[in-house]
């Protein structure tokens, strides 16, 4: 009961606030054009600009968003003590150059690209590892997304030796229509199945000449274009038609040329909206993997804004257009896109405005539960104990090394019951809906009752305090910095002190494991805020 009392007391008092530059252009200004556009949107919606989140809140938020982890004690202390005006910009730059950025963005891409060794994708372990390593290396090097997309759409050869050749293998349905659906969802965020049947078939013709053949190496497969002569008539989503003489011309290359030309509005729109979703949990256009064809879309925008009405759900077309242009101008650099958004007032806004209208317009930072892999890694960082991960299908069994971070797992077939319980996607379709961010009773039961988690948390204070001659206030500081990336408030210390004094003197050591358990179960630990 004492632990429960402390738990409730701290939760009631929890305060979420207390708690490669592109070539040929200037460094993005945090108070620049993106903030002007945001403020204009807030003014139209009759919303005041949001308050800025505290340093402690920003610190934790940006680490989780960019590197997929909570900051360490030394990192938190260093940032909170820094008085420089540009410390947030410098931290963003440092995180974008870190291995954590590559790990987390590679995980996002693995979800999108369906990187999974077993059923129904069946890339097999060699293909998974080769492709995941390639994706991670290119993202860390900030390779142009346009060039990455072209390689995925046109690659031929062994899926073990030409990693991007796995793109057209990573589909449960390898028919031309099935591949067309995967392409439209991945690079345009459009559900091809929502279009008329004739349009679907005409689009699928771009992928009608893809063939596969096995080799003598176990599970290796060659992706190639059918060498028999054929005349292919295909139609892109904007209505442009193509007559292609194969195999002299690969229909995949014709499609890639259409998709990636500078005046094509679909590619940049999809990428920008997807990145905004990764950062905020919702796209600028909310239905992130079900965007409309552009004529229909822009007609709707003109009709809504021409009448002075607010769209439902609301979105800011000027913001989307600005970020699309920034993305193109930076040679499709994800780091530049991230840097621009992270330095904006929307990302650095306080989460304390509970008005749904403010959240809908990004005038308040959207509070939501941590993604499954990030939450499990945060629990591991906080408690000092990591889960073990292995495949569940014996072809072959795969055991990952101890202390493997969940965000670094390349294969969607390798998981754990806890990861699945917290909503890790199965990577069967590449849709956002596969990832479940809802809180459930089974999750709460695990956090409140898991004996393994409690044992790990019970050992944490001993690890933190070992060989340190410090008082109780300093010990509480260490726990708060480790768990919440901030110092406890005066009121929180008073609650702790009352609880500590309720124990007999020889039993007061027990208070520390209770405090660790309470902090891990708080929304401040479990949520983006």
Per-residue pLDDT tens over the stretch 414-446: 989 999 999 999 999 999 999 999 999 999 999
Higher local confidence (pLDDT), 60 or 297: 60
φ/ψ bin of 31: left (φ > 0), alpha (ψ from -120 to 50), beta (otherwise) = alpha
Q: How far apart are CA 225 and CA 59, in angstroms?
A: 49
Contact 304, 285 (CB under 8 A): no
Residue 10 pLDDT more than 70?
no
Contact 396, 125 (CB under 8 A): yes
pLDDT of 218:
84
Q: Which residues of 207-223 are buried (b: 16+ CB within 10 A; e: fewer)?
A: bbbbeeeeeeeebbbbb
pLDDT of 29:
57
- Let me know how long the chain is: 529
Q: What is the pTM of this model?
A: 0.91
Contact 358, 364 (CB under 8 A): yes
Q: Which of 271, 275, 435 is nearest to 342 (CA)?
A: 275
Specify the long-range contacts of residues 508-511, CB closer than 8 Å, at least 24 apart.
none
Q: Which of 384, 420, 490 is nearest to 72 (CA)?
A: 384
Q: Which residues of 406-433 are buried (b: 16+ CB within 10 A; e: fewer)?
A: bbbbbbbbbbbebbebbbbbbbebbbbe
pLDDT of 383:
86
What contacts 288, CB < 8 A, 6 or more positions away? 189, 273, 274, 277, 282, 432
Q: How far apart are CA 389 and CA 511, in angstroms?
A: 32
Residue 26 pLDDT more than 60?
no
Residue 4 pLDDT more than 90?
no
Contact 406, 377 (CB under 8 A): yes
What the block records as the tokens of 376 is 């499990």
Q: How far apart are CA 298 and CA 16, in angstroms?
A: 38
What are the structural domain ranges in the chain? 34-101+266-369, 145-260, 450-528
Residue 43 pLDDT more than 50?
yes
Residue with tokens 């040679």: 331
What contacts 78, CB < 8 A, 6 or more positions away? none
Q: What are the tens digits of pLDDT across the range 361-408?
A: 999 999 999 999 999 999 999 888 888 898 876 556 788 898 999 999
Rg (CA), the chain: 25
> Among 23-32, 63-72, 352-361, 381-390, which range has the highest average pLDDT?
63-72
Give the CB-side neighbour count of residue 204, counting CA atoms within 13 A.
19
pLDDT of 307:
38
- Is the dihedral angle over the CA atoms 113, 119, 123, 125 positive or is it negative? positive
197-211, 256-270, 304-318, 455-469: the lowest-pLDDT one: 304-318
What the block records as the tokens of 66 is 């960019």
Q: What is the arithmetic mean of pLDDT over 327-343?
A: 96
Contact 447, 525 (CB under 8 A): no
What the block records as the tokens of 145 is 């997304």
Give the CB-side neighbour count of residue 447, counting CA atoms within 13 A.
24
Residue 25 pLDDT more than 90?
no
For 186-251, list the strands marked E by DSSP. Answer: 210-214, 221-225, 230-235, 241-246
pLDDT of 6:
43
pLDDT of 22:
35
Q: What are the tens digits of pLDDT across the range 491-510?
A: 999 999 999 999 998 888 88
13-17, 110-114, 227-231, 447-451: the lowest-pLDDT one: 13-17
Average pLDDT, the chain: 89
What contacts 483, CB < 8 A, 6 or more positions away? 70, 382, 516, 519, 520, 525
Helix crossing, 472-484 with 511-520: angle to 10°?
A: 20
pLDDT of 19:
38
pLDDT of 395:
59
Q: What are the tens digits of pLDDT across the range 252-261?
A: 999 999 999 9
**104 band by pLDDT with thresholds 50, 70 and 90:** very high
- Is the dihedral angle over the CA atoms 103, 105, 108, 112 positive or is it negative? negative
pLDDT of 509:
87
**What percent of the chain shows pLDDT beyond 70?**
90
Contact 213, 225 (CB under 8 A): no
Q: What is the arithmetic mean of pLDDT over 29-40?
A: 81
Residue 301 pLDDT more than 80?
no
DSSP 460-517: HHHHHHTT----HHHHHHHHHHHHHSSPPPHHHHHHHHHHHHTS-GGGGGGHHHHHHH
Run of H or E residues at 376: helix 372-383
**156 band by pLDDT with thresholds 50, 70 and 90:** very high
What contacts 141, CB < 8 A, 6 or more positions away? none
Cis peptide before 313 (omega within 30 of 0): yes
Cis peptide before 396 (omega within 30 of 0): yes
Q: Which of 383, 502, 507, 483 is nearest to 1 (CA)?
A: 502
φ/ψ bin of 247: left (φ > 0), alpha (ψ from -120 to 50), beta (otherwise) = alpha
How far, CA to CA in Å, does 367 sit from each of 5, 107, 359?
Answer: 25, 21, 9
What contacts 154, CB < 8 A, 6 or more positions away? 250, 252, 253, 256
DSSP 86-131: THHHHHHHHHHTSHHHHHHHHHHHHHHHT--SSTTT--HHHHHHHH
pLDDT of 526:
97
């Amino acid at each position: 009961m004492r632990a429960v009392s402390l738990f409730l007391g701290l939760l009631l008092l929890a305060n979420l606030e207390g708690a490669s530059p592109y070539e040929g252009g200037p460094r993005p200004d945090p108070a620049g054009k993106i903030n002007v556009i945001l403020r204009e949107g807030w003014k139209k919606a009759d919303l005041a600009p949001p308050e800025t989140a505290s340093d402690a809140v920003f610190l934790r938020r940006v680490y989780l968003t960019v590197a997929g982890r909570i900051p360490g004690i030394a990192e938190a202390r260093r940032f909170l003590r820094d008085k420089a005006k540009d410390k947030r910009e410098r931290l963003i730059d440092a995180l974008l150059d870190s291995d954590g950025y590559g790990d987390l963005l590679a995980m996002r891409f693995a979800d999108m690209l369906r990187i999974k060794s077993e059923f129904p994708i069946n890339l097999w372990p060699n293909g998974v590892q080769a492709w995941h390593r390639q994706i991670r290396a290119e993202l860390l090097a900030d390779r142009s997304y346009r060039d990455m997309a072209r390689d995925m759409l046109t690659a031929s050869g062994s899926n073990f030796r030409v990693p991007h050749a796995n793109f057209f293998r990573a589909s449960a349905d390898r028919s031309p229509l099935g591949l067309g659906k995967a392409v439209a969802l991945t690079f345009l965020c459009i559900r091809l199945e929502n279009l008329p049947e004739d349009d679907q078939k005409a689009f699928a013709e771009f992928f009608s000449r893809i063939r596969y053949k096995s080799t003598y190496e176990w599970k290796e497969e060659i992706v190639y274009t059918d060498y028999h002569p054929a005349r292919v008539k295909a139609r892109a989503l904007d209505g442009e038609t193509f007559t292609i003489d194969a195999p002299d011309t690969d229909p995949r290359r014709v499609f890639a040329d259409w998709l990636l030309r500078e005046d094509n509005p679909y590619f940049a729109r999809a990428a920008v909206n997807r990145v905004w979703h990764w950062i905020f949990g919702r796209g600028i256009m909310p239905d992130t993997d079900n965007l409309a064809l552009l004529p229909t879309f822009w007609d709707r925008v003109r009709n809504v804004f021409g009448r002075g009405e607010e769209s439902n759900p609301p979105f800011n077309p000027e913001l989307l257009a600005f970020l699309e242009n920034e993305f193109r101008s930076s040679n499709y650099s994800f780091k530049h896109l991230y840097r621009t958004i992270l330095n904006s007032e929307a990302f650095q806004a306080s989460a304390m405005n509970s008005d749904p209208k403010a959240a809908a317009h990004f005038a308040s930072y959207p509070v939501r539960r941590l993604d499954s892999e990030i939450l499990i890694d945060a629990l591991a960082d906080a408690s000092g104990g990591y889960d073990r991960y292995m495949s569940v299908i014996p072809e072959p069994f795969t055991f990952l090394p101890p202390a493997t971070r969940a965000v670094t797992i390349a294969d969607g077939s390798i998981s754990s019951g806890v990861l699945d319980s917290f909503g890790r996607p199965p990577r069967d379709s590449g849709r956002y809906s596969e990832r479940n961010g809802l809180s459930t009773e089974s999750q709460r039961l695990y956090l409140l009752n898991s004996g393994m988690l409690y044992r790990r948390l019970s050992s944490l204070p001993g690890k933190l305090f070992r060989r340190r001659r410090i008082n109780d206030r300093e010990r509480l500081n260490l726990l708060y910095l480790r768990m919440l990336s901030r110092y406890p408030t005066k009121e929180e210390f008073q609650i702790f002190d009352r609880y500590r004094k309720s124990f007999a003197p020889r039993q007061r050591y027990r208070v520390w494991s209770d405090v660790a358990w309470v902090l891990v179960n708080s929304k401040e630990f479990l949520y983006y805020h």
